Structure 1
Amino acid sequence: MGRANGRWPEQEPDRGVEDAVLLILEWLGEQGVGAMIRVDAERMRDGGPAWTFAAGGGPLTEAMRSDGASVAECMGRALVRLREAGLAVPF
């Protein structure tokens, strides 16, 4: 896959994964993977891991889910699991 349409911005070293979340979701969709990230206000109020990432389909043999207290924690865990599943996420 090329870097079409100028949508792949230069990443700043002092910025976290939060800046790339939408690009990651778009890239996963292009690979045939359905994915989403959501925040649960009730879990946030209760101090639980309010952020959830879920993905399935395409080259993933099993659906996956990752939770975290912040979007960065959630997506960091998700990226580890995606890479373990064989998806070389380019971010």
Structure 2
Amino acid sequence: MTGNQGRWPKIDQGGGIEDVTLLILEWLGEQGVNAMIRVDAHRAVANSPAWTFAASGGPLEHGMRADGRTVQQCMSTALSQLREAGLSVPF
């Protein structure tokens, strides 16, 4: 049998956080955290931060939300907030 024997695929170190966003969501789900990321086309047209990450439940005492103009900005803010809340996201 060939192929990846581990749980997580190898991450392209040259890639950005947007390359691992789905893995982060999957990991959060495994921790009992409800999480989502969405883009709002109306906010993008209005030149507002169109990307939103939201999470709640599990080990998070309170729900959280992070917004950004790009998915990278949104997820970077979200990871910072998750780490401040005590979740050591492995990405």
| TM-score normalized by the length of structure 2 | 0.91
What is the aligned length? 88
How far the C-alpha of 1:8 sits from its partner, in A, is 1.4
Structure 1 spans left out of the alignment, 5+ residues: none
The answer for the alignment partner of 1:68 in structure 2 is 68
How far the C-alpha of 1:29 sits from its partner, in A, is 0.4
Q: How many Å separate the matches in 2 of 1:8 and 1:16?
A: 16
* Code of the aligned partner of 2:78: A
The answer for the alignment partner of 2:23 in structure 1 is 23
* Code of the aligned partner of 1:88: S
Structure 2 spans left out of the alignment, 5+ residues: none
RMSD after superposition = 1.5
Report SS of the residue matched to 2:20: helix
- Fraction of identical pairs, as percent: 64
The answer for the alignment partner of 1:52 in structure 2 is 52
1:39 aligns with 2:71: no
| TM-score normalized by the length of structure 1 | 0.91
Q: How many Å separate the matches in 1 of 2:42 and 2:35?
A: 22
Structure with the larger helix share = 1
